[in-house]
Amino acid sequence: MFFSRDRKTPKRPSENAGVLKSVFLAYFILLLHVVLIMGLGGIVLFFGGVVQFMPWIFFGGTALALYSGYRFFQKLKREGKSLSEVLSDPLLNGKEVEVTFLGGLVSLRMDGRGAAERLAGPRHIAQLEGPEAMRLRELKELARLFEKNLITSAEYQKAKQGLLK
């Protein structure tokens, strides 16, 4: 609350300041709408141009990919190497390399494993334990508990009969 100079009567904030803030806020909102409409118009124009020139963009990207592959193989030929020698380089040994073009549209993945290893999959495949193997493991655990005197003979016989049924 504001006070006048004599500090006895409270002074009301100016109503003009509130109206001025409201007008500026309205103009700001109007300006944001204009910017939004202009942005949408720009997006429509841009994508209209992209669709119109899509074949040229596709053929240009394809030509660029083919040219880079041609230059790569020229470099290999100049150095007297083959592609398999480059891929067996110790720097690449055991590592995965993935090359993508056009945002993942074309992708080439190389890793240190041979083709037979890739087809075979992982070396160790976890399998579920069969009922006989489970029963045998539980009997071994029961015998270990009995040998260490952690269970009595009666408990051992009762649990053994339960497992063998």
The token duo for 55 is 């074949």
pTM for this entry: 0.34
The residues spanned by each domain of the chain are 11-51, 56-120, 131-164
53-95 pLDDT, tens digit per residue, is: 778 878 887 888 788 888 888 888 888 888 777 767 776 666 6
Which is more confident, 136 or 83? 136
* Rg, the chain, Cα only: 39
Q: Is the pLDDT of residue 114 over 60?
A: no
How many other CB atoms are found less than 10 A from the CB of residue 3? 10
How far apart CA 120 and CA 102 sit, in angstroms, is 31
